[in-house]
Chains A and B, each alone.
Chain A
Amino acid sequence: MHLEVATEKPPVLFTAWVNAVQELCALVNALAPLGESLGVPDLRKTDWHGQLFDKLAPQVSPEAVLVVAVCGGTNTGKSLITNALVGSPISRSVPEAARTRYPVASLPKGLVARIDPAKLFPGFVTAKWQSQEDAIDGGVQKSDQNDSVHRLVWREDVSGQQSPRLVLLDTPDIDGTLQANWHRAELVRNACDVIVAVLTQQKYNDATVREFFRAAATAQKTTIIVFNMVDWPVQRDRITGWLATFCAQTGIAPAAVYAVPFDAAAAAAGSITFYALPELSVAGQLSNRNGLDRSLDKQIDESQDLASRLANVDFNRIKLRAMKGAFQVVLNPHTGVGAWLDAFETSASQWQEVKRLLAVEARVRVELPTAPRELVWQEIWQWLEPRRSGFDLTVSKAYRFAGKGLRIVAGKTGLIRSDAKRREDFSALELAALKRGLADFVERLEDISRSNRHAASLLDGVLVDGNRTAWYLDLECRHAALPIVSEDYRQFVRSELDRFSSQNPDALRWILTGLNVGAVARPAITVALGWAGAAAVPAAAVTAGGLSSLVHHVGDVVVGGAATLAGEGALGLTIVGLKPLIETLFAGWSSERSRVLAETLHNVVLGNRLDEIERLASAAARPEVAQARRLIFECSREFSG
């Protein structure tokens, strides 16, 4: 017997864990929202999360207290047993089932001054005990029937009889129709070191009950089993069989087994009798086996009265076992935080697949109508104007004057369409091509969303709930607002020509020849989703600024026919240098036109979804993942070593 338990120092070992636990908590908290967006299964439902946040985090730093929780199914007499253990009525026992809605804690005298109960039970909103009706539904907290608030009622032991570092809790049920109760019981189960499992002959093999206690066994909680409502002594022999089933199903090795006889009158009076069954405890069963250190269990088992003996166990060893057990659950490679990180990385790779799909599949070839050629030529003429010789200029002016006159006459007679008319026609055709591009793009997104669950979760918000009429309106507005030749493009043409002439001394002559020959452009631009670092964006779009590289164009303007028109022999030489230039100029113009579509797609249709995909796809590369992995590795090595 350890009579001076209370004066012992808290184990030094936990202080060595503080940093690791806190770092791991911080890493998990940092990754949790990302994991939720990734679609990783909710980590609050996992055992390791409960052990890390409900047990290790709150219990690793302050003075170590031993948490004892009384758990069991509805109407099995948990409150009655708690009251017996506490020694005075703390939690009301009622005939109806599932009435205890919140955990009730009995704290040793003076503990509140040292430890805030809210810090000890982080999952709960803690409240000071007023009466034994506090945790009962329909009791004092009538106002919050709202199940989202998890309350915990605590009372400081006034008598001073409770062992100075022992915390005793009554819990709600674990199998009733109110699932919020289960959750509260699970939070307490996670936090406890010793679990008092209240079983009855009706409930010891219920699936929900087994499930609950299996988790406690996995986390190495010291378990004391109390069979309540036993027909004593008629059913005494039955208990062996019941216990064997329960232990086989849950993996629990009971440190002690007690039987409480069925006695309605005694229960009503609040006085119940515990019968110890030492032959059924682990120590009793294994007393003949060697090589296993079961002295801890033996020590509990040898106690006679459950209430007073809970106070006399070796707190530090039980605590250490429970803390180690919790750590092992967290570090378990198959079910612990490592498995969660695996799921995290798997999901991230699925998002990478979504990103790849979007980059490959979501590209649309927009075939713009043949541009009014003179628009590009005009820009080139204007650049040439100051650079040309006097004679050349006069001749060309005369020609142009004559040409203008002819055009006016032809336009009046209706033989050819005027420039304005042609631009109007071009504009209408261009808008039609852009609209088709948009419809095509949306259809591709729909296909991707149909084939990929992850993409659907992100894109359906746009494809199903988005206002498509607004997309087209936006496209129309942008198109209408785009001047036929923008200042950006003008700038672009000048800089291209300047560059070309500085590289080619004979530039002027070549360009003039080229002008006479004329080029036929058939612009076709591929608009695709791209991310930073993707293929280069044509110059016009870059100089325009504003548009990030999230939507990029792949220009494949075909400028052809110049050589064949004029006879290859005559112009072969000049064309070599000239063709790429003219191609660039036409490509720049076309890509600027289709930028309208890219802007609509990026700003209105997809919004920030591309950033979101990028964020999710790169989740696995977050430094926190690597840090967590390293931390798990180090901790595991320490534990095994």
Chain B
Amino acid sequence: MKNNDHPDPHPLDLASIVDNQADFSKFNELVESLKHWIHSAPQWPPAQHIAGQWEQVELRLDRARLELSRVLVVGVIGGTGTGKSTLVNALAGCNISPAGDVARPTTIHPVIVVARDVDLSWLPVDAMQARVVHSDSAAIANIVLIDCPDPDTQADCVDQPAGGSPADRSQAQPTDSNHNRDLLEKVLPVCDVLLLVATAQKYRSWIVAREVAMFAPGRPLLFVQTHASRDPDIREDWRRELQSQGFVVPHIFRVDALQAAQRAAALLEPEPEFKELVTAIDAELVGRAARRVRRTGALDLAGWFLLQSRGQFAELGDAVAQLAAGVQVQRARLEALAARAIEAKLRSSRSSWQGVLTEEVIDRWHGGLFPLFLHALAAIGSFWPRMRSVGGSLIGRILSGQAVAPVATGHAAWAAIEELGINEAEVEQSRSILIGQAARARIFEPLVGRARLDASSVQITVGTLLERSGAWLATGIKRLVNERRGRIDSALVRGAFEVLFSGLVVAVLGRAAWNFFIGHLWFGRSLDGAGFLLEAFVWLILWGLLLRWLVLVRVRTGLDRDIRTLVDRLPSARLIDPLLSDFAEAAAATSEFVKQRDSLDRDWTALAKELAEPSSELGRLHREPS
């Protein structure tokens, strides 16, 4: 801004600058979090749609923050014939934009009216096909005024045939030369403030309302009824109409631009109503007020954007929550299948348990006759050919402490976990159900996969599942076995068994010693001979086996109940998660994205409350729809 030689009607005081900067630091924070939020957008169509909208909004927010001290651009917009150009001429104080009733539309190319010393290098003048006119009028000394083309003379859809024979139609077709609305839509993006002009005939125009609604977010407005000397005062009705369209309307000016232009040309004092408008422009759009306008506009824009984004998700919140719940339901379903299969398998593997538990007992029991007997038995047993191989089954291998086999490639991998009660069909069922629920939340590929896992993901997920369940089962079984070992670990139990077994040995030996030393040598009775020893040995073996059986019974009692307890803990192991992880992650990512919007929305509301301005003459679009 180079208007230093112009007297600034509002000398800036230092306190307010500091105040403004403080406000902007908070606003900057909000914009930064908005950027962060948009960058975290998942591959979710509503989120992507918002990210697309953000590009435009970001541009404007950045500009508002960077070009804080630039003069405001005021676009004069309204239907054709409402006196836009006349108003611009009146404000500029001379006849610079053609106006009148000769032909509609009058203004085709936008006219930019600006003081001589204002730098316009940042305005895309050529792209807008605009003409720049300099003016010395005090009313526009500190703003850039653009006389915009009208929105309502360009045909809505030129390619729509109007009917009639081809000859008729070529005659009736609108001339293609009218591109006023297209031009207008090139001009409005650079405007900071809109000056909406209407007459009694045009204030309810649908096309104008549509165009203004498109560009109003984040752009404060001034409302002006023209043709005051001819038309009745429709300001009350216009206010109602604007309010129903969602605008805040603090004031509507009512001027006669034609008279004002004539008076300005004749260097006469303007009419009081027109003067009011000029004063309002000076008070609301210049100097400190310009910063406020820009800030309010930017804040409104951010708020409008957040509101728009809510519209994108509003109906999907429930669906996302349902998907998350659906993942839990399917997880529980598959876990129940796994639990049932694992429990049945563990229960039916009696001989494996027997083997494991026996080994455990033998490993831990040393020194003594009974342990010696047990070890001997185990040593003999190890030579015995095994009746049934347990090596083939997963749970059998885990029970016998072997490592789980590596997963086969591709779809063959499913075979590896068949024993866990989870087959491809069940997983596909769960995934297919979840795909339906995801589609309801508009979550599709690639955010989630397909019902049938492809070969590589089968290998990964099944591999993880196998690894997890192997580890979980191994620890579970180990704990179970340890608990059971505890039952025979006490000295009393061991002592009792030792005494019971050793007692027979001692009794046999005592009987043999009695027979030899006392009976044979002393009393001369006959020796019992090898027969007795053989008999005693057989009884000893039988007694030992009975005791061993008792030990095992003690160790084994309540095994089924303990297996149930073990299996009940299955959900905490999260074995199934890898199979449904894409759905769980998608639900989490989308709901997180929505949640962050809500939090940003709260931040915005707090900031908007904090920065609430005293009421001004400027109107704006309500954030909440009416």
Which residues does A use to contact B, with CB under 8 Å?
47-48, 73-76, 95-98, 173, 175-177, 179, 200-208, 210-211, 214-215, 217-219, 235, 238, 241-242, 245, 248-251, 262, 264, 328-329, 332, 334-336, 431-433, 435-436, 438-440, 442-443, 446, 463-466, 468-469, 472
Whether A73 contacts B232 by the Cβ 8 Å rule is: no
Give 30 pairs: A residue, B residue, CB < 8 Å, sorted on A.
Answer: A48-B163, A98-B204, A175-B207, A179-B206, A201-B81, A201-B104, A202-B79, A202-B80, A202-B104, A203-B201, A203-B202, A205-B80, A205-B153, A206-B153, A207-B156, A208-B152, A214-B172, A218-B172, A245-B103, A249-B174, A250-B172, A262-B230, A328-B164, A334-B166, A435-B425, A436-B428, A438-B432, A446-B435, A464-B440, A466-B436
Whether B425 contacts A204 by the Cβ 8 Å rule is: no
Whether B204 contacts A251 by the Cβ 8 Å rule is: no
Say yes or no for B376: interface residue by CB 8 A criterion.
no
Whether B450 contacts A443 by the Cβ 8 Å rule is: yes
C-alpha spacing A205/B166, complex, angstroms: 23
User: Please, which residues of chain A bring their CB within 8 A of the CB of B103?
Assistant: 241-242, 245
Say yes or no for B603: interface residue by CB 8 A criterion.
no
Whether A334 contacts B161 by the Cβ 8 Å rule is: yes
**How near does chain A come to B485, taking the closest CB pair, in angstroms?**
30
Say yes or no for B562: interface residue by CB 8 A criterion.
no
Most buried by A among B101, B156, B166, B424: B101
Most buried by A among B80, B429, B431: B429
Whether B81 contacts A203 by the Cβ 8 Å rule is: yes
Whether B436 contacts A463 by the Cβ 8 Å rule is: yes
Whether B102 contacts A443 by the Cβ 8 Å rule is: no
A468-B433 in contact given A97-B237, A334-B166 (Cβ < 8 Å): yes
Query: B418-430 interface mask toward A, CB cutoff 8 Å, 1 = contact, 0 = none?
Result: 0000011110110
Whether B168 contacts A218 by the Cβ 8 Å rule is: yes
Most buried by B among A204, A206, A235, A463: A206
C-alpha spacing A446/B155, complex, angstroms: 41
Most buried by B among A47, A75, A95, A241: A75
Say yes or no for B540: interface residue by CB 8 A criterion.
no
Main secondary structure of the interface of B (DSSP, over half): loop
Whether A75 contacts B155 by the Cβ 8 Å rule is: no
Find the A residue at minimum CB distance from B333: A469
Whether B426 contacts A435 by the Cβ 8 Å rule is: yes
Find the B residue at minimum CB distance from A249: B174
Most buried by A among B203, B233, B432: B432
A95-B234 in contact given A203-B201, A207-B153, A251-B172 (Cβ < 8 Å): yes
Query: B204-227 interface mask toward A, CB cutoff 8 Å, 1 = contact, 0 = none?
Result: 111101000000000000000000
**How near does chain A come to B391, taking the closest CB pair, in angstroms?**
17
C-alpha spacing A208/B181, complex, angstroms: 13
**A218 partner, pick from B164, B175, B425, B436, beta carbons under 8 A:** B164
Query: B239-258 interface mask toward A, CB cutoff 8 Å, 1 = contact, 0 = none?
Result: 00100010000000000000
**How near does chain A come to B454, taking the closest CB pair, in angstroms?**
12
Whether A206 contacts B152 by the Cβ 8 Å rule is: yes
**A332 partner, pick from B79, B164, B202, B439, beta carbons under 8 A:** B164
11 more A-B contacts (CB under 8 A) besides A75-B201, A202-B80, A206-B80?
A73-B201, A74-B204, A76-B201, A95-B232, A175-B207, A177-B206, A205-B153, A250-B172, A251-B172, A334-B161, A335-B164
Say yes or no for B105: interface residue by CB 8 A criterion.
yes
C-alpha spacing A118/B440, complex, angstroms: 46
User: Please, which residues of chain A bring their CB within 8 A of the CB of B22?
Assistant: none
Within 8 A of A (CB), among B306-326: none
A74-B205 in contact given A332-B165, A432-B426 (Cβ < 8 Å): yes
User: Please, which residues of chain A bring their CB within 8 A of the CB of B102?
Assistant: 238, 241
Say yes or no for B200: interface residue by CB 8 A criterion.
yes
**How near does chain B come to A229, taking the closest CB pair, in angstroms?**
8
Whether A96 contacts B439 by the Cβ 8 Å rule is: no
Whether B432 contacts A251 by the Cβ 8 Å rule is: no
**B163 partner, pick from A98, A176, A215, A446, beta carbons under 8 A:** A215
User: Please, which residues of chain B bring their CB within 8 A of the CB of A440?
Assistant: 428, 451-452
**How near does chain B come to A276, taking the closest CB pair, in angstroms?**
21
Whether A439 contacts B436 by the Cβ 8 Å rule is: no
Say yes or no for B599: interface residue by CB 8 A criterion.
no
A-B residue pair count with CB separations less than 8 angstroms: 178
Whether B199 contacts A202 by the Cβ 8 Å rule is: yes
Find the A residue at minimum CB distance from B155: A207
Whether B162 contacts A218 by the Cβ 8 Å rule is: yes
**How near does chain B come to A38, taking the closest CB pair, in angstroms?**
21
Find the B residue at minimum CB distance from A246: B104
C-alpha spacing A332/B168, complex, angstroms: 11
A249-B81 in contact given A177-B205, A242-B104 (Cβ < 8 Å): no
Query: B145-183 interface mask toward A, CB cutoff 8 Å, 1 = contact, 0 = none?
Result: 000000011111000011111101001101100000000
C-alpha spacing A552/B205, complex, angstroms: 60
User: Please, which residues of chain B bring their CB within 8 A of the CB of A472?
Assistant: 429, 433
A176-B425 in contact given A95-B234, A262-B230 (Cβ < 8 Å): no
C-alpha spacing A498/B209, complex, angstroms: 83
Whether A210 contacts B174 by the Cβ 8 Å rule is: yes
**How near does chain B come to A434, taking the closest CB pair, in angstroms?**
8
Whether B451 contacts A47 by the Cβ 8 Å rule is: no
**How near does chain A come to B481, taking the closest CB pair, in angstroms?**
25
**A464 partner, pick from B172, B205, B245, B439, beta carbons under 8 A:** B439
User: Please, which residues of chain B bring their CB within 8 A of the CB of A442?
Assistant: 432, 435, 451
Say yes or no for B469: interface residue by CB 8 A criterion.
no
Whether B204 contacts A176 by the Cβ 8 Å rule is: yes
**How near does chain B come to A249, taking the closest CB pair, in angstroms?**
5
Say yes or no for B82: interface residue by CB 8 A criterion.
yes
**How near does chain A come to B341, taking the closest CB pair, in angstroms?**
11
User: Please, which residues of chain A bring their CB within 8 A of the CB of B165?
Assistant: 332
Whether B432 contacts A176 by the Cβ 8 Å rule is: no
User: Please, which residues of chain A bring their CB within 8 A of the CB of B200?
Assistant: 75, 95, 97
**How near does chain A come to B81, taking the closest CB pair, in angstroms?**
3
A205-B432 in contact given A251-B172, A433-B425, A440-B452 (Cβ < 8 Å): no
**How near does chain B come to A283, taking the closest CB pair, in angstroms?**
19
C-alpha spacing A203/B439, complex, angstroms: 49
Find the A residue at minimum CB distance from B329: A469
User: Please, which residues of chain A bring their CB within 8 A of the CB of B237?
Assistant: 96-97
**A211 partner, pick from B156, B241, B426, beta carbons under 8 A:** B156
User: Please, which residues of chain A bring their CB within 8 A of the CB of B426?
Assistant: 432, 435
**How near does chain B come to A597, taking the closest CB pair, in angstroms?**
12
Find the B residue at minimum CB distance from A333: B165
**B164 partner, pick from A73, A251, A463, beta carbons under 8 A:** A251
C-alpha spacing A250/B436, complex, angstroms: 52
User: Please, which residues of chain B bring their CB within 8 A of the CB of A95?
Assistant: 200, 232-234
**How near does chain A come to B449, taking the closest CB pair, in angstroms?**
11
Most buried by B among A48, A207, A208, A241: A207
Whether A177 contacts B156 by the Cβ 8 Å rule is: no
Whether A439 contacts B429 by the Cβ 8 Å rule is: yes
User: Please, which residues of chain B bring their CB within 8 A of the CB of A204?
Assistant: 104
A177-B172 in contact given A75-B200, A202-B82, A207-B155 (Cβ < 8 Å): no
Find the B residue at minimum CB distance from A450: B444
User: Please, which residues of chain B bring their CB within 8 A of the CB of A264?
Assistant: 230, 232
**B436 partner, pick from A242, A248, A329, A464, beta carbons under 8 A:** A464
